[in-house]
Amino acid sequence: MARKKAPDFEQSLAELQTLVERLESGELSLEESLGAFEQGIRLTRECQSALTLAEQKVQILLERDGALAEVPFDPQGDGA
């Protein structure tokens, strides 16, 4: 059975931002606002799931000899 491919994080985040802007505009009816809110909750969960998965992948990549090795973040990436 093939797994359903989840939308990517950036796409879900962009959709969520658009929904928030529509809700903040105050131009939606109550029914439209509730529908947008429900969709926003779904998108938020998708984003959180993608972030959790990414965090798990990073932890696996940083694992050394069966123990997690914490590495300080270096924004320049020069290793110094």
Give the closest residue to 68 by CA, choosing from 76, 52, 57.
57
Domain coordinates in residue numbering, the chain? 9-62
The span from the CA of 21 to the CA of 19, in Å, is 5
Distance between start and end Cα atoms, the chain? 47
Cβ proximity of 6 and 49 under 8 Å: yes
Which CATH code fits 9-62?
1.10.287.1040
SS3 state of residue 67: strand
Model confidence pTM above 0.95: no
The pLDDT tens digits along the chain (80 residues) read: 444 555 689 999 999 999 999 999 999 999 999 999 999 999 999 999 999 988 888 887 777 666 766 777 676 665 54
- Helix extents (H) in 1-80: 9-25, 30-62
Q: Which two tokens stand for residue 29?
A: 């009816």
